[in-house]
């Protein structure tokens, strides 16, 4: 995909990997729409910030209505929004469990369903789902988060097979510990962290592969 010709939508764009991706793609000439729950101080002429709660179907539809009124279709969707919830299964709050699944799993579905028709019409497009190492290996007190990321990887795998015949690429990104706001509220202190800008550049290099190459998934870990 040629980024400078791209119409891109990134969720969870106010910080971390999402924000870095928005910056990198805008710098290369993409027209970027960042969906985020809070205002973003970063200003760039090629980034439009759309304040959106991605767990709210009506809010998601409003955001994509805005994008699709300006452009025929979306070339690239990055489903990046997510958060972690950790603790023993008997102490997990059921309402928080539902909020986690709404953010980490249902939101990618709500966004994906809005971009697929335009991608199918043009026989091209890329969907990137930001999952996690926790979507490939479970760990104690991670049942909620791991369940959401395992499910997101399953969604991605099925979607990949559903859409590859339409010229649409679906890619799964599974990062390990990254220096984002994620760990501020988890009580987890990882030994090593990857830099968000390095993870974002790795993701961008995958997106920029020629359209006839399908990058299935990318796993990134701190060395």
Q: Give me the active site residues, please.
A: 145
Distance CA 21, CA 171 (A): 15
Distance CA 109, CA 55 (A): 10
Report the side by side order of strands in the sheet with 125-130: 47-51, 31-36, 7-11, 76-79, 125-130, 168-175, 217-220
Burial bucket for residue 33 (CB in 10 Å: 0-12, 13-18, 19+): buried
């Amino acid at each position: 995909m040629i980024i400078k010709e791209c119409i891109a939508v990134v969720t969870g764009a106010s910080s971390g990997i999402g924000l870095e991706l928005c910056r990198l793609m805008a710098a290369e000439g993409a027209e970027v729409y960042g969906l985020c729950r809070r205002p973003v101080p970063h200003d760039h002429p090629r980034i439009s910030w759309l304040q959106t709660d991605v767990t709210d179907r009506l809010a998601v539809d409003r955001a994509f209505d805005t994008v699709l009124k300006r452009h025929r279709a979306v070339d690239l969707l990055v489903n990046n929004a997510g958060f972690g919830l950790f603790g023993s299964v008997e102490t997990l709050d059921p309402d928080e469990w539902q909020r986690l699944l709404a953010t980490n799993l249902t939101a990618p579905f709500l966004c994906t369903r809005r971009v697929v028709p335009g991608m199918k019409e043009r026989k091209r497009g890329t969907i990137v789902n930001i999952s996690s190492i926790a979507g490939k290996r479970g760990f104690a007190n991670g049942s909620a988060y791991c369940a959401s990321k395992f499910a997101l990887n399953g969604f991605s795998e099925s979607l990949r097979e559903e859409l590859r015949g339409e010229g649409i690429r679906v890619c799964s990104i599974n990062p390990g510990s990254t220096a984002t706001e994620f760990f501020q509220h988890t009580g987890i202190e990882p030994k090593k962290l990857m830099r968000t800008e390095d993870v974002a550049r790795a993701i961008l290099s995958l997106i920029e592969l020629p359209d006839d190459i399908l990058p299935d998934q990318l796993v990134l870990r701190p060395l």
